[in-house]
Structures are given as structure tokens and as C-alpha cells.
A and B are shown apart, each in its own frame.
Chain A
Amino acid sequence: MAIRLAQTSASQATRDAYGEALVAVARNNPRIVALTGDLRDSNRLEAFAAAYPDRFIECGIAEQNMAGVAAGLATCGKIPFVSSFAAFSPGRCYDQIRVLIAQPRLSVKLVSTHGGITVGEDGMSAQAVEELAMMRALANMTVLVPADAVETAQAIGALTEHVGPAYMRLGRSAVPVLFDDGYRFAIGTAPVLRDGDDVAIAACGVMVSRALAAADTLAAEGISARVLNCSTLKPLDASAIVAAARETGAIVTAEEHTVYGGLGGAVCEVAAAHHPVPVERVGLQDCYGESGSPEALLEKYGLTAAAIASAARRAVSRKTRP
């Protein structure tokens, strides 16, 4: 059964929720430390720095060293939350993450803001559109992309309990608040936000609200679309994906990321192995972003409710008729 969504028009950037949540969880957990590479403002860590100055470690513009420092802290019992822009972490420090964090399974939580093209005007060098594939490829790594502020806050709480390395991608721009206090985030589960049996839309991050809007559009045309919130890219909720494939017969994936190796890739891997069905992938089609407002960029690069609805129609038309 679909979970209940919040009845609100509020919006908040997931990075804002991160900053607030980290201060809250650190209150009762002295093991938590926060690291940033000269981005305490952008990463929303100023409140943490003020509340826990001893546990806030400014690492300067040096992401490689920062990732290694976090690994060392973790071997001494700390739970480091390491923040930068997603373009720089993991973009600038992948080998440190691989050898010092992922391979030894250390409990370092890499939480990067400014994921995807909704970074906006700073342009393509600042827009990470491939880092989910990078992180998903690392064994032992948990990969999260929360859809809204409520889920982000809960995911931060979950990460403090979670043992092992994790990467979480957050966004710069405000996104609609989808969930209310009754929502229960759990690593590895993809909750159904809307029931449907003609097609399933598996979405993450900023694309979740767009998937819900697409489902509305499709419903008006008589196409019943199920919407899954795939906030855990790894480990992907395979049973939810297989159930969606079996029960709807067609899947659309939607992510603010290249269609290679991220959510689209992950869903295809599971579907191909367990219940092959037509899959249409909405995302960046092997390209980079550019400067522009977040909304204009989403429109230009086809990351819209309309694009998801079109993909759903294509997926439905590809179903093998009995």
C-alpha cells in the first residue's frame, strides 16, 4: 500500500535539512565529527561548527586529504560526516575513498551537497552527474539520494547507526516537502508512494516529486503508474523492483544523473536478472549540464514530469501483449 504523503506546499533544500539534522544527532552522540573543505556555508555546517567547535574540522580546499583524515578518525572510533560539493567529493578523492574507506569498511559518512544539474548557474564543472555511478561501483558502499528534507533528516539519523561507509547526495536548491512526520526511512527499502499497475516509475532525489506529477498526468489518460522512492541506490530494494516489474510489466527510471550506472543502471541490472521488462531511463543522456537556472536546466535536459510521462507511455507501448 502506498504511504501517505504530506499535505503541504512547503519546500526546503535537502542540504538545509542536513545541517539541522546533524546538529540534532550530534547532541547525543559525541562520536560524530563533521569535516568540510572550505564549504561550511554551502554545506550548511555553520550551525554544527558553532554548536560543536571541537568536533568541526575545517580541512581546507583539499578533498583528498580530507577523505583520508576521515578514515583515520574512523579507526579511532569517530563517526566522520565529510562534506563538500559532489563534484569534489567523491570527484576529487575517489582513490582515498576506495582504499582508505570502502576497502577497510570504515564508518565514514560522505555527505555531499550540490549534486546534479540543479546546482544551476555555476555550470557543468560544478554539477556532479556521474558520482552515483562511481560510488555505486564501490563494494561495501551504501548510496543514498533522499527525496526531500524530511527523508534527509531521517537518513542522517539512520547513518549514525549504520556501520560501514556511505555516500549521500544532497541538493543545492529547494525541493517540495513530500513526507510528513509519519514517514519512516530505512536504508535499503524503496517505499511505494503511489499504487499503480500499468507501469512503475522508480525515482530518486529531485525526480521523485516529478514522478508523482507524471503519475497524475498518466492517470488522466487512463494509465495507472506506481511510483517508487528509490532513495537507497545501494543496496537497491530488489524485491520492490522485481514486484514492480512483475505487477506492472514496465519500468521508468528517473534520476538527476547520467543514465549510465546510477538508478537507471541499477534497476536494469535487477530487472534483467530477475524479471525482464521494458525499461525507459530518464536522466542525462550521456552529456554534461551547463549554466542556467535549475528549473531551466531540468527542462532543457528532459528531467521533467512531462518527460517521465512520455517515457512511461513508451514503456507501456513496449510491453509484450499476451
Chain B
Amino acid sequence: MDPSVDVRALEARAREFRKTILKIITRAGSGHPGGSLSAIDILTVLYFHHMRHDPANPTWPDRDRFVLSKGHGCPAWYVVLAEAGYFDPRHLQTLRELNSILQGHPDMTRTPGVDMSTGSLGLGFSAAIGMAMAGRLDGRPYRVYAMLGDGESQEGAVWEGALLAAHYGLDNLTAITDRNGLQQTGRTEERIRLDPLADKWRAFGWDVQEIDGHDLAAIAGALERAGTVRGRPQAIIARTVKGKGVSFLEGVVGFHGKALTPAELDRALTELDGAPAGGRR
């Protein structure tokens, strides 16, 4: 394990992020809590440990790029961007409001730190491939990270992109799948089966790692290792739990696109405050 990973500090951050995510979604009255909580540990490691970026200079040409292809998970991303310093955290209280810089799905024209607008599933991943191609064309050292939902991977365009990135050997590209096993109306395997998902990416020519997407050290290690792969893009299948960290959200289908009520929020915050750093295992 990379000794530079301060797992405790990252876990503490992630726990605070979980609380903020749930608060701002409840305040907004709508949003996607489940897929935000499954993704937050990965986002925390990316922005507070792994990626080369400079919130004071969000258009730095050599910055690492991140694309949230599963755009509905943006509350998690916004919370991370605010804490990193891309914008005043007070904006978080305007999530989904008229004229807010924080739209219901990511909008690159409004939100500092957002390099690609997304929303409809299966779109952002292709844009990440274009960013990786531009980096190679210009000889820039940056890397590109795309986060996909597992349900999103039912979109055909994802596999068009998987073919192309492997064909061109884009080793500056890492696709992280938030494999929480649920989609809007049920289990992914009951809607359109995805397993064996890792085998699919392998068959498309990608380097593949499978990790526990809530183990911060494992996330950091996988990202580090992905950066050493040459000649192939890398897929990280992060096994996660939708709603991770709050007992009555974990693995529950009904919280895909539904805000917690104020009473539910209180219960969730109490749980998170009482939990050991990193949430329940």
C-alpha cells in the first residue's frame, strides 16, 4: 500500500461529505442520494489524494480531467469540488435552485471544476476519451478519469467507447465503474445482466482491476497502479453499495432519485456521526 495515503484523514473527509450530500439533497427536495453515497469514497480519493489539479487554476492545461459520466451522482462531486476550493461552499445550499451554479446534472458552463456537461447516460465516457486523445496529441502529461454507473453500462455507446479507447491504446485514460448493483427500478442483474462485467472490459482490451469501492486504501492503490499501465486504458470495477454509510439506504432501490425527508435525514446524520470513520463495513 502507498504509505503516503492518509486513510484516516480521507475517511474523515468522506464521512463529512456523506452528511453534506444528504443535507443538500434534502434541502433541494430532489436528487440522487444512493448513487452519490456509493461514489463518494472514490471521488474523495481522486480529489484529495490522487489527481493533479489546482482549484485556484481550474483551466490549467495540464490538469488531470475528471468526467462524471453518471451525471446524476453530481451532489457528491459538487461537495468534493466545493471542499477542494473550486467554488464557495455556500453554493451547495443552492443545489437545483433556479439560477444556481449547481444544476441537477453537471453543467460545465456554470460550475468551476466541471470539464464536461453530462446527464443522459452513456455520454460523458466518450468525451473523456476525446480528452485523453487531445492529451496524447499535444504531448501533455495529464490523465483522464471517467466515472461510470453500472446501470449506465447498459448504454451501447459505452461499449463503442470501450472499443475505441482500446484500439488507440489510450493508457492515459481510466474508467471507474461504480458497481453498486442497482439501477432506478431494481437490481442491474435483474434488469439487463452486466456480469461478468470485469470480463467484458478485459475482452475489450482494457487493463482491469476489481476493488472494494469503499476501501480508501484500495482505491488509492488501484489508481496508482492504473497509472503505471502502458499501452492500454484501465478499467477499475469498484464494488460499492448504493446508499453506503446509512443503514436504511444501503442497497435500497427506492432511494435512487428520492431525497430523504427531514426526519430520515436526522436519522441518517445521527448514524453517520456515530459511525467509525469510513462508515460501516
A residues at B contact (CB < 8 Å): 33, 54-55, 57, 59-60, 62, 64-78, 80, 95-96, 99-100, 103-105
Complex contacts, B118 vs chain A, CB 8 Å: 99-100
CB nearest neighbor in A for B144: A72
9 pairs, CB–CB < 8 Å, chain A vs chain B:
A62-B161, A62-B164, A65-B129, A68-B127, A72-B126, A72-B130, A73-B133, A75-B130, A80-B130
From residue B77, how far is it (CB to closest CB) to chain A in Å? 16
B117, B119, B120, B131: the one contacting A73 at CB < 8 Å is B131
- Among the interface residues A72, A78, A95, A105, which one has the most CB atoms of the partner chain B within 10 A? A72
Nearest first, the 6 A-B pairs at minimum CB distance are: A72-B130, A68-B126, A76-B134, A65-B160, A62-B160, A72-B127
Complex contacts, B161 vs chain A, CB 8 Å: 62, 65, 68-69
Chain B residues 48-66 with CB under 8 Å of chain A are: 61
Complex contacts, A78 vs chain B, CB 8 Å: 134, 137
A65, A75, A80: the one contacting B164 at CB < 8 Å is A65
Answer whether residue B156 sits at the interface, using C-beta atoms and an 8 A cutoff: yes
The A interface is mostly helix, strand or loop, or mixed, namely helix
In contact, B107 and A73 (Cβ under 8 angstroms):
no
Given contacts A72-B131, A105-B109, contact A99 B123 (CB under 8 A): yes
Q: B138-175: contact bitstring with A at CB < 8 Å (1 yes, 0 no)?
A: 10000000000000000011001101100100000000
Answer whether residue B255 sits at the interface, using C-beta atoms and an 8 A cutoff: no
From residue A125, how far is it (CB to closest CB) to chain B in Å? 19
Complex contacts, B133 vs chain A, CB 8 Å: 57, 69, 72-73
In contact, A77 and B117 (Cβ under 8 angstroms):
no
From residue A66, how far is it (CB to closest CB) to chain B in Å? 8
Complex contacts, A65 vs chain B, CB 8 Å: 126, 129, 157, 160-161, 163-164
From residue A214, how far is it (CB to closest CB) to chain B in Å? 44
CA distance A116 to B65 in the complex (A): 39
CB nearest neighbor in A for B69: A68
CA distance A80 to B160 in the complex (A): 19
CB nearest neighbor in A for B105: A99
From residue B61, how far is it (CB to closest CB) to chain A in Å? 8
Complex contacts, B206 vs chain A, CB 8 Å: none
In contact, B157 and A96 (Cβ under 8 angstroms):
yes
Answer whether residue B128 sits at the interface, using C-beta atoms and an 8 A cutoff: yes
In contact, B164 and A59 (Cβ under 8 angstroms):
yes
From residue A84, how far is it (CB to closest CB) to chain B in Å? 13
In contact, A99 and B119 (Cβ under 8 angstroms):
yes
CB nearest neighbor in A for B134: A76
CA distance A80 to B67 in the complex (A): 19
In contact, B138 and A76 (Cβ under 8 angstroms):
yes
CB nearest neighbor in B for A78: B134
Q: B175-216: contact bitstring with A at CB < 8 Å (1 yes, 0 no)?
A: 000000000000000000000000000000000000000000
CA distance A69 to B61 in the complex (A): 18
Given contacts A60-B163, A60-B164, A103-B117, contact A68 B131 (CB under 8 A): no
CB nearest neighbor in A for B108: A104
Complex contacts, A100 vs chain B, CB 8 Å: 116-118, 123-124, 126-127
From residue B115, how far is it (CB to closest CB) to chain A in Å? 6
From residue B154, how far is it (CB to closest CB) to chain A in Å? 14
A54, A55, A73: the one contacting B130 at CB < 8 Å is A73
Answer whether residue B135 sits at the interface, using C-beta atoms and an 8 A cutoff: yes
Complex contacts, B160 vs chain A, CB 8 Å: 60, 62, 64-65
Complex contacts, A62 vs chain B, CB 8 Å: 157, 160-161, 163-164
Complex contacts, B157 vs chain A, CB 8 Å: 62, 64-65, 68, 96
Complex contacts, B17 vs chain A, CB 8 Å: none
From residue B104, how far is it (CB to closest CB) to chain A in Å? 13
From residue B64, how far is it (CB to closest CB) to chain A in Å? 12
In contact, B107 and A71 (Cβ under 8 angstroms):
no
Given contacts A60-B163, A60-B164, contact A75 B137 (CB under 8 A): no
B107, B108, B129, B135: the one contacting A68 at CB < 8 Å is B129
